[in-house]
């Protein structure tokens, strides 16, 4: 008996020729031509992706802070305090991820959400208390407002991390405190020397804002460790 295999499409055509001359046709699967389905994503690969709810929560909090800075509902001191706490939460999240191969356990996710719930309440409280940023209709006040607007834009765009924002706002807090002290000592006004000194400090703060907004550190790079 002679057997002849002919490849045809996805299978092999086998012709079985019997001694009597009868021919039987058999279709056999050709392993080399079979199509394999894509391999499913491995759990390890999925685990390396940042949890979207955690990342989105962080971004939402930063947007709320940015809006508060822009509107004047948050003072420099309040913003510095909020961003210091956000930076601490982010650091804890990165540490937890690093200890667990790039992922968070269920318990760690619950802890982060609990901390962000507390942050959410504090952001609301600080934005709706009696403390607001009043800049005044003068060059010193306009400079302070301009700096805050630049910081708010950096928070909103993600150019400024919470840690960077906390440092910038602490600097603004110090300048604001100095302005208040000088005004109080001079019957509510600033003399020429004090105005010059404040402007010098704001020049330094302006360079810090620019540098931190244009360095490699961004909100997106801080989302994952």
Residue 50: the pLDDT is: 54
Residue 220: the pLDDT is: 64
For residue range 85-134, list pLDDT tens digits in order: 999 999 999 999 999 999 999 999 999 999 999 999 999 999 999 999 98
Residues composing the chain: 225
Q: Does position 38 have pLDDT exceeding 70, yes or no? A: no
Residue 2: the pLDDT is: 54
Cα→Cα distances 72→60, 95, 142, 165, 183, Å: 18, 34, 13, 16, 21
- Rounded to a whole number, what is the distance in angstroms from the first to the last CA of the chain? 69
- Say how far apart CA 23 and CA 17 lie, in whole Å: 5
b/e sequence 5-21, b meaning 16+ C-beta within 10 Å:
eeeeeeebeeeeeeeee
pTM for this prediction: 0.73
Q: What is the mean pLDDT of residues 13-34?
A: 45
- Say how far apart CA 202 and CA 91 lie, in whole Å: 29
CA 132 to chain centre: 27
Residue 53: the pLDDT is: 85
Residue 161: Cβ within 10 Å count: 24
Domain assignments of the chain as residue spans, ordered by start: 2-29, 50-196+217-222
Cα→Cα distances 213→157, 159, 165, Å: 9, 5, 10
């Amino acid at each position: 008996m002679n057997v002849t295999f002919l490849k045809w499409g996805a299978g092999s055509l086998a012709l079985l020729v019997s001694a009597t001359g009868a021919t039987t046709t058999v279709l056999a699967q050709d392993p080399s031509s079979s199509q394999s389905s894509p391999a499913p994503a491995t759990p390890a690969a999925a685990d390396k992706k940042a949890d979207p709810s955690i990342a989105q929560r962080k971004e939402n909090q930063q947007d709320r802070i940015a809006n508060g800075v822009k509107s004047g509902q948050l003072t420099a001191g309040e913003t510095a305090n909020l961003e210091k706490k956000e930076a601490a939460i982010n650091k804890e999240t990165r540490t937890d991820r690093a200890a667990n191969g790039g992922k968070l356990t269920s318990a760690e996710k619950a802890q982060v959400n609990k901390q962000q719930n507390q942050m959410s309440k504090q952001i609301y409280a600080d934005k709706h208390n009696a403390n607001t940023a009043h800049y005044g209709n003068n060059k010193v006040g306009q400079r302070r407002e301009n700096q805050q607007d630049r910081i708010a834009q950096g928070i909103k765009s993600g150019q400024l991390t919470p840690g960077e924002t906390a440092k910038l706002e602490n600097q603004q807090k110090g300048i604001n405190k100095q302005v208040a002290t000088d005004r109080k000592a001079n019957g509510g006004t600033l003399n020429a020397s004090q105005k010059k000194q404040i402007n010098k400090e704001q020049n330094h703060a302006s360079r810090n804002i620019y540098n931190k907004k244009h360095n490699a550190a961004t909100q997106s790079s801080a989302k994952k460790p």
